[in-house]
Amino acid sequence: MSNNNNIDELRLHLFDTLRGLKNGTVSVETAQAMSNVGKTIIDTAKVEIEFTKATGETVVSKFLESERELPPGITSIRQHRIA
C-alpha cells in the first residue's frame, strides 16, 4: 500500500474497511472510526475548495491530485482564470 495521502488512497482505505466489515474482520466501532476520520479529511478538502471560490486563488492540493500520468509529450498543466 502506498503512502500518497490523496483522495484515491482514502477511497482505498474506506473500501477496504467496508469489505472488512462485510466479512467480519473489522469491527463496527473500527469502521465507524474510519468513517469519521474519512469525513473529517473530506471536510478539509471542502474548505480548500471554498477558499479557492471565495478568494479566486488557486490552491495546490496534493489530496485532490490524481496519480494519473500526463499523456506522452505533455510535461505540465497550466490553468488560466478569466477574471
Find the angle CA(11)-CA(58)-CA(80) to the nearest 5 degrees. 115
pTM of the model: 0.64
Amino acid at 75: T
The grid coordinates listed for 34 are 474510519
Cα separation of 72 and 65, whole Å? 19
The grid coordinates listed for 28 are 463496527
Cα separation of 5 and 60, whole Å? 14
Q: For the chain, what percent of residues have pLDDT higher than 70?
A: 76
Comparing 8 with 26, the larger pLDDT belongs to 26
